[in-house]
């Protein structure tokens, strides 16, 4: 489990992370979302002991990272897949990490296999594509077979097959009982991968909630109704407390009334219904609504606070 309590980081007059408390639980994929500059990387760096908090603390398995006896066995992380010596082969890169951290050589073969890199294990990393580097970064993160995994933008630069592979890998790791924390700006991908979401803006917690609950909370969810006489039905629906808007093609977009109630009201008004469809908000829409103020604030003040 990964947790932070009132975690704070200030750089001069910039508060990058502001009293952030969160828990990343085992057995699920937790998506970590926020606009550019909202403090995600800084938070991850503090969890991994790469930046020192100005206030509060971060714990991995109940201890600060700096106190972990065998950190790679506690938490695996990929923050920057580019940070690999280009002259080394993939296998040598992983071997050197294993050697210096007391991890068996057998794990090197296992993670190469797991990440599909066995056929290129003897090739120099300098010639690797971005996707291959991502896989190598993930291989390194998994060397210690850790119960917690942190991946910063793991699908960056991956082709559709690579994206699907990461999705299955993350879900598989969660199913094995690991705590998986993953950041990404790709909302459709996140929607398919994460069970839980932590959303931050301006360094502060905006939401810490289940994926379905977060998306359901967006005001965009409505019911599309297609009828022959939209004007008549619209006045009936408004009379029943609905919030009704017209689409460009004449269909009605209704909020505040359940589909069943709309169908009943239409039947009672003797209006034939040709289509009645719930349009659920997407994660992207819910995310935009949730972070609207955080983004506006930044855009309005040139990124400073
Ligand atoms: N080393 C640093 N020195 C000064 N300011 C920093 C430093 N690192 C981060 N910041 C500032 O802290 C804030 C949060 O940055 P951070 O990189 O954590 O955001 P992020 O959510 O990861 O952004 P992105 O989505 O663009 O990666 C930004 O205003 C950034 O400019």
To test ligand 1's pocket by mutation, which of 8, 20, 35, 39 has the most ligand atoms within 8 angstroms of CB?
39
Interatomic CA distance for residues 261 and 239, integer angstroms: 13
**Mean pLDDT calculated for residue range 189-208:** 94
Give residue 111's pLDDT.
95
Give residue 113's pLDDT.
94
Give residue 144's pLDDT.
94
Percent of the chain whose pLDDT exceeds 70:
95
Considering Cα of 301, then 303, then 304, then 305, what sign does the dihedral take?
positive
Q: Give the confidence band of 38 by pLDDT, cuts at 50, 70, 90.
A: very high
Q: Give the confidence band of 300 by pLDDT, cuts at 50, 70, 90.
A: very low
Nearest-CA neighbor of 191 among 278, 290, 291, 282? Answer: 282
Q: Whose CA is nearest to atom 11 of ligand 1?
A: 16
To test ligand 1's pocket by mutation, which of 14, 17, 185 has the most ligand atoms within 8 angstroms of CB?
14
Boundaries of every domain in the chain: 2-216, 222-279
* Tokens 């349009």 -> residue: 279
Nearest-CA neighbor of 28 among 2, 58, 65, 61? Answer: 2
**Mean pLDDT calculated for residue range 139-165:** 91
Task: Given CATH 3.30.70, say whether it is the number of domain 222-279.
Answer: yes
Q: Whose CA is nearest to atom 29 of ligand 1?
A: 37
List of residues 6+ apart from 204 with CB closer than 8 A: 18, 19, 20
Same CATH fold assignment for domains 2-216 and 222-279 = no
Helix H or strand E segment including 193 = helix 187-193
Expressed in angstroms and rounded, the spacing between residue 15 Cα and the centre of ligand 1 is: 9
The gap from C-alpha 67 to its chain's centroid, in whole angstroms, comes to 28
Is the per-residue pLDDT at 298 higher than 50? no
**Helix pair 130-142, 160-175: axis angle to 10 deg:** 10
Query: Of all atoms in ligand 1, which is nearest to the CA of residue 51?
Result: 1
Collapsing DSSP to helix, strand or coil, 241 comes out as coil
Q: Is the ipTM of this complex over 0.90?
A: yes
Expressed in angstroms and rounded, the spacing between residue 212 Cα and the centre of ligand 1 is: 29
**Mean pLDDT calculated for residue range 197-215:** 93
Is the per-residue pLDDT at 173 higher than 90? yes
Q: Which ranges in 224-301 belong to alpha helices (H)?
A: 230-239, 259-268, 283-300
What end-to-end distance do the CA atoms of the chain give, in Å? 32
Interatomic CA distance for residues 200 and 301, integer angstroms: 18
Give residue 216's pLDDT.
82
Comparing 81 with 111, the larger pLDDT belongs to 111
Contact 23, 176 (CB under 8 A): no
Interatomic CA distance for residues 65 and 53, integer angstroms: 12
Interatomic CA distance for residues 49 and 265, integer angstroms: 60
Query: Of all atoms in ligand 1, which is nearest to the CA of residue 305?
Result: 29
Interatomic CA distance for residues 211 and 193, integer angstroms: 10
Is the per-residue pLDDT at 106 higher than 70? yes
Expressed in angstroms and rounded, the spacing between residue 41 Cα and the centre of ligand 1 is: 7
Is the per-residue pLDDT at 243 higher than 60? yes
Interatomic CA distance for residues 150 and 102, integer angstroms: 21
Chosen CATH of 2-216 out of 3.20.20.140, 3.40.1050.10, 3.40.50.300, 3.30.420.10: 3.40.50.300
Q: Give the confidence band of 112 by pLDDT, cuts at 50, 70, 90.
A: very high
Nearest-CA neighbor of 74 among 87, 58, 94? Answer: 58
Take residue 269 and report the two structure tokens written for it. 């008004």
Comparing 85 with 262, the larger pLDDT belongs to 262
List of residues 6+ apart from 165 with CB closer than 8 A: 116, 158
Q: Give the confidence band of 185 by pLDDT, cuts at 50, 70, 90.
A: confident
**Mean pLDDT calculated for residue range 62-82:** 90
Q: Which ranges in 75-149 belong to alpha helices (H)?
A: 90-101, 105-114, 130-142
Contact 80, 126 (CB under 8 A): no
Mean confidence (pLDDT) of the chain: 90
Interatomic CA distance for residues 213 and 261, integer angstroms: 23
Interatomic CA distance for residues 135 and 1, integer angstroms: 24
**Mean pLDDT calculated for residue range 160-170:** 91
Q: What is the pLDDT of residues 49-68, one digit of tens each?
A: 999 999 999 999 999 999 99
Q: Which residues sit with their C-beta closer than 6 Å to ligand 1?
A: 11, 14, 16, 34, 36-42
Q: Give the confidence band of 304 by pLDDT, cuts at 50, 70, 90.
A: very low
């Amino acid at each position: 489990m990964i947790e932070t309590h009132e975690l704070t980081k200030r750089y001069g007059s910039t508060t990058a992370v502001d009293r952030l408390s969160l828990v990343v639980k085992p057995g699920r994929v937790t998506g970590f979302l926020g606009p550019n500059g909202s403090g995600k990387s800084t938070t991850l760096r503090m969890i991994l002991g790469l930046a020192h908090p100005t206030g509060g603390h971060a714990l991995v398995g109940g201890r600060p990272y700096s106190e972990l006896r065998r950190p790679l066995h506690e938490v695996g992380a990929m923050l920057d897949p580019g940070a690999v010596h280009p002259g080394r082969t993939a296998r040598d890169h992983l071997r050197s990490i294993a050697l210096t951290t007391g991890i068996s050589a057998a794990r090197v073969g296992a993670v190469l296999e797991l990440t599909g890199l066995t056929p290129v294990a003897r090739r120099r990393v300098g010639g690797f594509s971005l996707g291959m580097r991502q896989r190598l970064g993930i291989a390194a993160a998994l060397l210690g077979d850790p119960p917690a995994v942190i991946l910063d933008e793991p699908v960056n630069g991956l082709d559709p097959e690579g994206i699907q592979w990461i999705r299955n890998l993350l879900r598989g790791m969660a199913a094995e009982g690991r705590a998986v924390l993953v950041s990404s700006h790709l909302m459709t991908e996140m929607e398919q991968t994460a069970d839980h979401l932590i959303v931050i803006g301006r360094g502060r917690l905006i939401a810490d909630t289940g994926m379905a609950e977060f998306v359901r909370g967006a005001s965009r969810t409505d019911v599309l109704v297609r009828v022959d006489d939209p004007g008549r039905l619209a006045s009936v629906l408004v009379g029943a407390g609905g919030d009704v808007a017209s689409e460009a093609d004449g269909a009605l977009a209704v909020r505040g009334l359940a589909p069943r109630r709309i169908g009943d009201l239409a039947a009672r008004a003797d209006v034939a219904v040709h289509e009645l469809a719930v349009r659920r908000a997407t994660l992207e829409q819910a995310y935009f609504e949730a972070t609207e103020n955080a983004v506006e604030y930044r855009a309005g003040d040139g990124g400073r606070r």
